[in-house]
């Protein structure tokens, strides 16, 4: 008998089955062989592992997050977003030569085809949400790079990965400039990744935009914190669409669409709207009561499917907030956020449900202090998460993963005969 296994007894027949536990999981094919008529019913994948992955380790009870084994705290302190993107994709930190080559590759792929901007992005309605524009523009890129369909060619895969990571900030900034009626700013390839993005966002008439180094660094740290988070909703979308062997632009667009939802990447936008609505410290208690009654909205930026003690990214982000506010001045909503956090963390409703601030509770306050409109928040999330999505996409293809195709428990009508419309 294997040391690690479970035994299941089917009480209908009295038959027992032993299934080995491998890497903390029991394989469904063994279950299916033993009990072909019994499904696992797991809406929302609460206890279902859909893949083996070597990208990111997450222990929600202990509040641990590691990319390829490296603690998020060390990466946030010592690395850069582009180095982290390399790490996620390649599995190891780059040598100096590899890093220089990688940065050069990304830097020289930042430009987008003129038709994407002129004909495609400028065709949107004047008040289009920049995240909607980004999702569509990423999908549209698949029509510009027909070689992207060669998903089984590693060289082609690498090329699309570089293109996607490099072009996301350009598309993101272009979407913003269009939505505020400002002319498009071309990438300045003499700048580093985050500083280049800030230049494309904010440059007006000056010959060269010099981002405040503290703000460029803070944004780079935020990019590191958001680069991957194992099998979250958008990564699952990426893997699901990728498993059908769609090209990476289409799969990334699907992932970005998932990220657009307020339960996922839209949460920091929801936090700012919530704090603005609360408006004053005096209204915090009443707001907490309305959350607890279930009649009001949820406490945005609180709670996480996996983290049940604290979100390690939220801790790091609080430090980043201090650095940013030193440059920009304190965000007036910060005091409301601090009071909300304090009230929630001492309230039995939140304690008993193990609800803590997640990464989005403070990220919106930082973005807002840096001058980003709330509509850009999910876009700012999508830029770095592209590295994580693509790491999972590449891993899934290397593993020759099966097409994602869950089963269901049918609870609809039994067979019945069609009734002609005149008889209904």
Q: Please report, as ranges, the residues that interact with ligand ACO according to CB under 6 A.
A: 263-264, 267, 291, 298-305, 353, 355, 358-360
Burial letters for 209-236: b for 16+ Cβ neighbours within 10 Å, e otherwise?
A: bebeeebbbbbbbbbbbbbbbbbbbbbb
Q: Characterise 397 by phi-psi region: left (phi > 0), alpha (psi -120 to 50), beta (else).
A: alpha
Q: What is the set of active-site residues?
A: 264, 304, 360
Give the shortest CB-233-to-ligand ACO separation in angstroms: 7
Of 174 and 259, nearer to ligand ACO (C-beta) is 259
Of 107 and 268, nearer to ligand ACO (C-beta) is 268
Of 100 and 286, nearer to ligand ACO (C-beta) is 286
Of 187 and 378, nearer to ligand ACO (C-beta) is 378
d(CA 424, CA 422): 6
Give the shortest CB-8-to-ligand ACO separation in angstroms: 27
Of 21 and 286, nearer to ligand ACO (C-beta) is 286
Give the shortest CB-301-to-ligand ACO separation in angstroms: 5
Give the shortest CB-354-to-ligand ACO separation in angstroms: 8
Give the shortest CB-305-to-ligand ACO separation in angstroms: 4
Give the shortest CB-300-to-ligand ACO separation in angstroms: 5
d(CA 80, CA 232): 23
Q: Is the dihedral of CA 386, 48, 257, 255 positive or negative?
A: positive
Of 106 and 284, nearer to ligand ACO (C-beta) is 284
**β-sheet bridge partners, residue 357:** 302
d(CA 354, CA 180): 40
Of 61 and 92, nearer to ligand ACO (C-beta) is 61
Give the shortest CB-353-to-ligand ACO separation in angstroms: 4
Give the shortest CB-130-to-ligand ACO separation in angstroms: 18
Of 72 and 299, nearer to ligand ACO (C-beta) is 299
């Amino acid at each position: 008998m294997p040391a690690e296994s479970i035994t299941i007894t089917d009480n209908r027949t009295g038959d027992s089955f032993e299934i080995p536990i491998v890497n903390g999981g029991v394989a469904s094919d063994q279950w299916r062989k033993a009990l072909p008529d019994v499904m696992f019913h797991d809406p929302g994948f609460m206890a279902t592992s859909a893949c083996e992955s070597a990208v990111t380790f997450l222990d929600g009870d202990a509040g641990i997050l590691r990319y390829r084994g490296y603690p998020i705290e060390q990466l946030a302190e010592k690395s850069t977003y582009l180095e982290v993107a390399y790490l996620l994709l390649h599995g190891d930190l780059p040598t100096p030569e590899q890093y220089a080559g990688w940065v050069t590759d990304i830097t020289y792929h930042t430009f987008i085809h003129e038709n994407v901007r002129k004909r495609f992005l400028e065709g949107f309605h004047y008040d289009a949400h920049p995240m909607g524009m980004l999702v569509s523009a990423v999908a549209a890129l698949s029509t510009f790079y027909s070689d992207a369909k060669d998903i089984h060619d590693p060289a082609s895969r690498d090329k699309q990965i570089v293109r996607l990571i490099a072009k996301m900030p350009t598309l993101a900034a272009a979407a913003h400039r269009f939505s505020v009626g400002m002319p498009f700013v071309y990438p300045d390839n003499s700048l580093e990744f985050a500083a280049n993005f800030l230049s494309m966002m904010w440059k007006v008439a000056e010959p060269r935009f010099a981002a405040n180094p503290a703000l460029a660094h803070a944004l780079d740290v935020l990019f590191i914190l958001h680069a991957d988070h194992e099998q979250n909703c958008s990564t699952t979308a990426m893997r699901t669409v990728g498993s059908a062997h769609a090209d990476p632009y289409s799969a990334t667009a699907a992932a970005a669409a998932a990220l657009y939802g307020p339960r996922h990447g839209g949460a920091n936008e929801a936090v700012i709207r919530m704090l603005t609505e609360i408006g004053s410290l005096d209204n915090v208690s009443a707001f907490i009561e309305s959350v607890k009654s279930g009649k009001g909205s949820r406490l945005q930026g609180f709670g996480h499917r996996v983290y049940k003690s604290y979100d390690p990214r939220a801790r790091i982000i609080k430090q980043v907030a201090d650095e940013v506010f030193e440059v920009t001045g304190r965000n007036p909503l910060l005091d409301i956020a601090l009071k909300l956090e304090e009230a929630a963390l001492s309230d039995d409703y939140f304690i008993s449900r193990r609800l803590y601030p997640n990464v989005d509770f403070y990220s919106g306050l930082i973005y807002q202090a840096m001058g980003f409109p709330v509509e850009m928040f999910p876009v700012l999330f999508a830029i770095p998460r592209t590295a994580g999505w693509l790491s999972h996409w590449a891993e899934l293809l290397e593993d020759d993963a099966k097409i994602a195709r869950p089963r269901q428990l049918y609870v609809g009508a039994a067979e019945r005969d069609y009734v002609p419309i005149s008889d209904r």
